Chain A
Amino acid sequence: MNFRDTFQTSVRGLKTHKSRSFLTILGIVIGITAIIMVMSLGAGAESLILGQIQSIGSKTIAVIPGREPKGPTDFISTFTDSLKQRDLDALSNKANVPHLAKLMPVLFGGETAYYGSETYRPNVFGVTDLFAEIYNIYPSEGRLFGAEEIKSYADVAIIGSEVKKELFGEWENALGKRIKIKGRNFQVIGILGKTGQFSFLNFDQGVIVPYTTAGQYIFGIKYFHRLVVEADSEVNVPVTVEDIKITLRNSHNITDPEKDDFFVQTQADAIKTVGTITTALTAFLTAMAAISLLVGGVGIMNIMLVSVTERTREIGLRKALGATESDILRQFLFEAVILTGIGGVIGIILGFLLSFGVSLVLSRAVLSGWEFSFSIPAAILGLTVSAFIGFVFGIYPAREAGKKDPIEALRYE
């Protein structure tokens, strides 16, 4: 019996039991749908986060105080005061870091802001006006603060869209008004448009002030939480990283690199970290979904065994007409594989539609940067896995069918 005839026989067998066939593959459909969704949404999340990191610019380098964390729980080491004004001065020196194009100190922390009877707890960022260029984010109303205002510890603030809404409401004009933070009145000189970004730097909920003011009057510290550097070109990032390290070691009198009290992170590092995290997360969720596939496979085996028993007479007749054991085996094995293959296709389509729907909702409602992504490898994987499950769980029932004694089978009522 050739392949085509076996295939047709199997398809006919499945058609005879349509509703049962459909219910049987439900487990596979759900499993594949889950896998496709997880993989698609995982890829979407990864590309969103990476997109944001990349939008900051691949020339950006962050200098962070403390030892480089050795693991996810090792964050205490970053809370040190090792980055100070002298480092800013040393790095500004062209002779030390020739390819440095921009340098900005960053201080940050949560503080309470008041306007009239309204209060809100924004993230306060102490930066220079360079933040707009570095993060590519500009006020939609008003202006940035300038070098003079930084130098003079001016009480000026640029507020994020969320802060504006919470303190002033939708309609009130905030420009020129004063908000109170740590007992000081800050004049609102700019309002950021909705960045809608889902990032470690949430500017929507941020109040941006000169770093001088932030250090002196808000946080009361004489060090920086971070230094952000931009190299003059992407190619010069590695050499700039090295120059920064040498300069800071000199400035801190460190001879042994093992004893660095700072570390340098490039965008490439950040991308790698995010990639590792999302990949691990996706793999974990996919494994969870795979368990449902396994359950689906057992369901297939169960129903195939019932089917083989029910169709004992058919098997007997086919054998009487000349079917060999392997003809029967292949017929039932094909049924299982076709069944799970169809389940896989339905699952892929469903997973595609659902993750498209979820992406649509996410991009409309929550994360404007979210893009639908559908991976062809995931679809191919899903189809292969489902057919493979049909094979694995179909082989036992199919062998049982093939081994049936024709006479026992014909006698079966």
Chain B
Amino acid sequence: MSLIEVKNLKKSYEADGAGTPALQGVNFTVGTGEFVAVMGPSGSGKSTLLHILGFLDRQSTGKYFFEGRAIDEYSDDELALVRNKKMGFVFQTFNLLPRMTALENVELPLVYAGIPERTRRKMAEAAIADVGLAHRLHYESTKLSGGEKQRVAIARALVNDPAVIFADEPTGNLDSESGRQIMEIIRNLNQTHGHTVILITHETYTANYAERVIKLLDGEIVSDEKVAERTTGVSFKK
């Protein structure tokens, strides 16, 4: 059983009566432990795909099976539960809550999971240590640098030990050095910890961290290939 399986997935946004299809019949599967990059220019439908895969949106037609169960069978509350327990999100704009410390931001998914305060504090501390920010635990999120913010966001994404981590242009707002560090962390999550990672990007050098690259154009898959052999030193330039 694949972790993720989509069959003829279509999505169109009804705006002013004129339906603009964002996805026009997409098929692929992702197995547990894979590191997949979804590439494409803006408007290619990659963000729409990520939102559907991440249970943040529903498709118009077609099927999406997560762990073998179709998304249509889930109620809104069940979707929330799956997002909470099995998914982690990393956004381009970090989306940390202001006026909360790094630790409190990372604790947030655990709060919604109903985990007692003492336990969740320990889990959050561990997750922050994993991304190398143990010395920033009690910094207010707005006082962190961009790279640090994204690392906190990654800690927040992995604190629940999710089945899959969705990263939506995680390096888009970062300088190249911070971006490289973030990608190293994400790759490490996949290689060392075995997290499934689905990365959305429009940059080839970011996509090169993945094992497999799906290219989207105008809502259709134009290529889906394994990265043949990983070059040891990925060049990372902006």
Q: Report which A residues bind B (CB closer than 8 A).
A: 1-2, 5, 9, 12, 15-16, 313-314, 317-327, 405-407, 410
* Complex Cα gap A363–B98 (Å): 53
| B227 is an interface residue with CB less than 8 A from chain A | no
Known: A16-B98, A16-B99, A410-B91. Is A320-B114 also a contact (CB below 8 A)? Answer: no
* Complex Cα gap A9–B108 (Å): 10
Known: A320-B83, A323-B80. Is A15-B114 also a contact (CB below 8 A)? Answer: no
Question: Are B111 and A320 in touch, CB under 8 angstroms?
Answer: no
In the assembled complex, how far is the CB of residue B167 from the closest CB belonging to chain A, in whole angstroms? 13
Question: Are B56 and A318 in touch, CB under 8 angstroms?
Answer: no
Q: Beyond A319-B56, A322-B80, A410-B91, list 16 extra A-B contacts (CB 8 Å).
A: A1-B111, A12-B99, A12-B100, A16-B98, A16-B99, A320-B54, A322-B81, A322-B84, A322-B109, A322-B112, A323-B80, A323-B84, A323-B112, A324-B112, A405-B57, A406-B56
| B76 is an interface residue with CB less than 8 A from chain A | yes
* Complex Cα gap A314–B93 (Å): 12
Known: A2-B114, A410-B91. Is A321-B57 also a contact (CB below 8 A)? Answer: no
Question: Are B99 and A321 in touch, CB under 8 angstroms?
Answer: no
Name the contact of B108 in the complex, choosing from A16, A321, A325, A406 (C-beta under 8 A).
A321
In the assembled complex, how far is the CB of residue A69 from the closest CB belonging to chain B, in whole angstroms? 67
* Complex Cα gap A325–B78 (Å): 11
Q: Report which B residues bind A (CB closer than 8 A).
A: 51, 54, 56-57, 76-77, 80-81, 83-85, 89, 91, 95, 97-100, 108-109, 111-114, 156, 160
Name the contact of A322 in the complex, choosing from B57, B85, B91, B99 (C-beta under 8 A).
B85
The 8 closest A-B pairs by CB, nearest first: A322-B84, A322-B112, A324-B80, A407-B57, A321-B109, A407-B56, A317-B95, A406-B56
Most buried by A among B54, B91, B95, B99: B95
In the assembled complex, how far is the CB of residue B110 from the closest CB belonging to chain A, in whole angstroms? 9
Q: Which residues of B contact A407 (CB under 8 A)?
A: 51, 56-57
Instruction: List 12 A–B pairs whose Cβ atoms lie within 8 Å, in order of A's numbering.
Output: A9-B111, A314-B97, A317-B95, A318-B108, A319-B80, A321-B84, A321-B89, A321-B109, A325-B77, A325-B80, A406-B56, A410-B56
In the assembled complex, how far is the CB of residue A2 from the closest CB belonging to chain B, in whole angstroms? 6
* Complex Cα gap A74–B98 (Å): 70
In the assembled complex, how far is the CB of residue B94 from the closest CB belonging to chain A, in whole angstroms? 10
In the assembled complex, how far is the CB of residue A5 from the closest CB belonging to chain B, in whole angstroms? 5
In the assembled complex, how far is the CB of residue B216 from the closest CB belonging to chain A, in whole angstroms? 18
Question: Are B83 and A322 in touch, CB under 8 angstroms?
Answer: yes
* Complex Cα gap A202–B41 (Å): 93
* Complex Cα gap A320–B80 (Å): 7
Q: Which residues of A contact B76 (CB under 8 A)?
A: 324-325
- Residue of A at shortest CB range from B57? A407
Question: Are B89 and A320 in touch, CB under 8 angstroms?
Answer: yes
Known: A12-B99, A12-B100, A313-B95. Is A320-B56 also a contact (CB below 8 A)? Answer: yes
Question: Are B95 and A327 in touch, CB under 8 angstroms?
Answer: no
Question: Are A317 and B97 in touch, CB under 8 angstroms?
Answer: yes
Q: Which residues of B contact A9 (CB under 8 A)?
A: 111
Name the contact of A15 in the complex, choosing from B77, B99, B113 (C-beta under 8 A).
B99
Question: Are B112 and A1 in touch, CB under 8 angstroms?
Answer: yes
* Complex Cα gap A2–B156 (Å): 20
Q: Which residues of A contact B84 (CB under 8 A)?
A: 321-323
Question: Are A327 and B57 in touch, CB under 8 angstroms?
Answer: no
* Complex Cα gap A313–B93 (Å): 11
Q: Which residues of B contact A319 (CB under 8 A)?
A: 56, 80, 83
In the assembled complex, how far is the CB of residue B154 from the closest CB belonging to chain A, in whole angstroms? 13
Name the contact of A5 in the complex, choosing from B51, B80, B111, B160 (C-beta under 8 A).
B111
In the assembled complex, how far is the CB of residue B75 from the closest CB belonging to chain A, in whole angstroms? 10
Most buried by B among A15, A319, A320, A405: A320
Q: Which residues of A contact B156 (CB under 8 A)?
A: 321
- Residue of A at shortest CB range from B113? A322
Q: Which residues of B contact A16 (CB under 8 A)?
A: 98-99
- Residue of A at shortest CB range from B48? A407
* Complex Cα gap A327–B108 (Å): 12
Q: Which residues of A contact B80 (CB under 8 A)?
A: 319, 322-325, 327
Q: Which residues of A contact B95 (CB under 8 A)?
A: 313, 317, 320, 410
* Complex Cα gap A405–B80 (Å): 12
Q: Which residues of A contact B100 (CB under 8 A)?
A: 12
Q: Which residues of A contact B83 (CB under 8 A)?
A: 319-322
Q: Which residues of B contact A410 (CB under 8 A)?
A: 56, 91, 95
- Residue of B at shortest CB range from A311? B97
* Complex Cα gap A318–B107 (Å): 12
Q: Which residues of A contact B56 (CB under 8 A)?
A: 319-320, 406-407, 410
Q: Which residues of B contact A323 (CB under 8 A)?
A: 80, 84, 112
Question: Are B99 and A324 in touch, CB under 8 angstroms?
Answer: no
